[in-house]
Amino acid sequence: MGMVVQHNLNAMSAYNKLNANVTGLKKSSEKLSSGYRINRAGDDAAGLAISEKMRSQIRGLNQAVRNSQDGINMIQTFEGAANETHSILQRMKELATESANGTYDNSTDRAAIQLEFDQLNDELNQIADTDFNGTMALNGGQMADGTKVDGSGIVNYTTATREAQQLGTAGGFVKAVDAAAYVGSNKETVTFTAEVDSDGKVTWNASEGALGTVTQSTATDKNGGFSYDGAVVVVDTDKVVAGDTITIDFDKTSAASGVKPGEVGMNVDVGKTGGDTNTGTTTTNATISLADGVAITSQEIADAYNALNGLTIAEVYAKDGTSATSTKVNGVAIPTSNTNTIGKVGEGTLEIDKDMKIYFKDKAGTSYQLGQVTASAMANKAVSAGTVTTTVNVGQATFTPANDKAVALVEPDSKVSQSNSYNKSTAIMTYTDNITLQTGARTKDSVNFTFNYNQDGTADMGELKANLNLSARADGLNTENLSLATQDDANYAIDQIDKAINKTSMVRASFGSIQNRLEHKIDNLTTTSTNLSEAESAIRDTDMASEMMTYTKFNILQQAAQSMLAQANQQPQSVLQLLG
């Protein structure tokens, strides 16, 4: 080709090669800097499609791992609550076993045991309300305050209502019962039933046959209620639903009263220990004459009179004597001055003086004369030496305190503790006995876990066998109405608590089996994700060593092309030599 200046073909060729090298260097640099072999579809269209599909699966698997871990966290939350339920049931078993022992008094000791037992039942209900992110599984669909879930398993406290129940002080329903102005004179038990209109106004109606008059409260705030013959019942009407009942015992007031034993008679028995009287000889019985003027004004004085029952008077006679040579009362000699103590009554004492007058001295030192001993005398001297012992029996003294509590609220048998009321809550909670977890990257990988235990007879559930949900409430465990009031009740409670413990064990076993399955699920998901990530890496990631060689090649070729382009651009200047 001749020497031309219009078209520098050498320069054009060098330029094209330079552009190709720059493009190659750019792509190689992009792969090295991003770490990906495929940065756009043009890098590898088929590889991109395959790797994006794998990426989707890997992302789904990784999220499924998190889903499964969330499921484990939920299971652990419920199982932790059930663990505390177990602890409470074990304490209940202790209390029932304690009450079953024959060394306790029903009215005091077992009543005290029952107090703790009832509180533990209340706590079972609260523990059963344990939720995970607003989802509950242990309360059988009923909250501790009695509110039940709707047909969708939802508890929405802004719209929820509970079933009617007998109200008491627990839960903050009945605020007070003021009997100060009570004017009734009837002994009766009255049940008052709430009627609630569309505006929320509460009206209370007395049960049929009630003898008094109901007056509705005019209060407009939550501390409404009613009065009955002057007795005022203050109720939190914000918490009342139609059909709620309040039961109250009424009685007429009465002053304190006491009855001395002398008013019901006195009997004195004679027995002999020691010397015998001669045949046909009689004695005049030793007696206690009750003192006048000491009224029964307290239970302590009544107890002092009653302490005279069983009092012994031992009289020693000499042969042919008509009068006792010595006399002892309750084994204590008659003093020559002051008094001697012959017995104890509560924190006070029984005292006898030289004239054989018997006193009760209370803790404060005040003395009350109860009576006086009159010794017997023989009818004649034809007696043998010996001791005649007289045992005194008097009628029962009684004391009835003033009835200043003529109005008494009847608490419901099944009470809810004060802290069990969620009246002010606005939370929306859900009850479920099963849950679906997305434990894989595909639709078919969702798993429904049903929270129940197997009824194949592997545990002795008794009446609980038909109750397959996880209800750990007191009613779900059949402990709600258990009584420890007597030995028989306590022994029955022991068996029922054992069954409740077995059910709770099965509940926890249900949770444990699900947790174990989810742990295996997580292991498999993690392994699958790792293997897929490795496969996706082989398609998408840059082989840095190989790409570095490519980068080096294009880098050198770019520099060479630049040099050749510079030289090609100098060639047309040789034409100027011909023009010289």
Specify whether 210 is located in the same domain as 107: no
Would you say residue 272 lies in a domain? yes
Question: What are the pLDDT digits (tens) for 306-318?
Answer: 888 888 888 887 8
Same domain? For 270 and 322 the reply is: yes
276 pLDDT higher than 50:
no
Using the 3D structure, point to which of 411, 440, 475 is the last residue of a domain: 411
> Do the domain assignments include residue 63?
no
Q: How far apart are CA 361 and CA 301, in angstroms?
A: 10
**Is 129 inside any structural domain?**
yes
CATH classification at residue 510 = 1.20.1330.10
- Residue 392 belongs to a domain: yes
Domain finish residue from 378, 400, 422: 400
What are the helix and strand counts (H, E) for the chain? 7, 26
Q: Does residue 199 sit in helix, strand or coil?
A: coil
Residue at token pair 């029984």: 350
The identity of residue 471, as a single letter, is: S
Do 372 and 282 fall into the same domain? Answer: yes
282 shares its domain with 246: no
Same domain, 316 and 368: yes
How many CA atoms within 13 Å lie on the side-chain side of 118?
Answer: 18
Task: Give the tens place of pLDDT for each residue, 413-468.
Answer: 755 444 455 555 677 889 888 888 999 888 888 888 877 655 544 444 544 444 45
Instruction: Using the structure block, give the residue that is written with the tokens 């926890």.
Output: 508
User: What are 414-426's pLDDT values in tens digits?
Assistant: 554 444 555 556 7
CA R_g for the chain? 49
Q: At what angle do helices 45-99 and 109-128 cross, to 10 degrees?
A: 170
Averaged pLDDT score across all residues of the chain: 82
- Asked whether residue 425 is domain-assigned, the answer is no
SS3 content of the chain, % helix, strand, coil (to 5): 40, 25, 35
pLDDT-based confidence at residue 409 (cuts at 50, 70, 90): very high
Q: Are strands 188-196 and 202-206 parallel, antiparallel or unpaired?
A: antiparallel
The closest alpha carbon to 365, from 376, 380, 351, belongs to: 351
Query: Both 463 and 386 in a single domain?
Result: no
One domain, residues 522 and 535: no
Residue 377 in domain: yes
Q: Are 426 and 198 in contact, with CB atoms under 8 Å apart? A: no
Q: How many Å apart are CA 314 and CA 386, to the nearest integer?
A: 10
Domain-terminating residue out of 411, 443, 477: 411
- How distant, in Å, are the alpha carbons of 241, 270, 320, 328, 392 from that of 315? 75, 11, 14, 7, 14
Per-residue model confidence (pLDDT) at position 414: 57
Provide mean pLDDT across the span 345-374: 90
The set of long-range contacts for 354-363, using a CB threshold of 8 Å and a minimum separation of 24, is 356/327, 356/329, 357/291, 358/288, 358/308, 358/329, 360/301, 360/304, 360/307, 362/300
As a whole number of angstroms, the distance between CA 93 and CA 493 comes to 8
* Pair (263, 393) in one structural domain: yes
* 222 lies in the same domain as 344: no
| pLDDT at residue 381 is higher than 80 | no
- What tokens were used for 324? 């006792």
Count of alpha carbons within 13 Å of 188, Cβ hemisphere only? 16
Distance CA 138, CA 129 (A): 7
Residue 561 and residue 580: Cα distance in Å, rounded?
A: 32
- Hey, is 242 helix, strand or coil? coil
**Best CA proximity match to 349, nearest among 357, 160, 358:** 358
Shared domain for 241 and 311, answered yes or no, is no
Compute the Cα dihedral for 254, 255, 259, 263 and give only its sign: negative
In 12-141, beta strands by DSSP E? 131-132, 135-136
- In terms of DSSP bridges, do strands 326-329 and 312-317 run parallel, antiparallel, or are they unpaired? antiparallel
560 lies in some domain: yes
Q: Could you tell me if 89 and 138 lie in one domain?
A: yes
Segment 214-241, tens digit of pLDDT: 999 876 556 678 999 989 999 988 878 8
Mean pLDDT, residues 104-124? 88
* Single-letter code of the amino acid located at 533: S
Is residue 164 situated within a structural domain?
no
| Shared-domain flag, residues 548 and 465 | no
End-to-end CA distance of the chain: 22
pTM here is: 0.57
Domain count, the chain: 4
DSSP 426: -
Domain that holds residue 541: 9-58+529-579
DSSP bridge pairs for 388 = 272, 315
H helix or E strand, kind and range, residue 94: helix 45-99
Q: What percent of the chain has pLDDT over 70?
A: 86
pLDDT at 296: 86
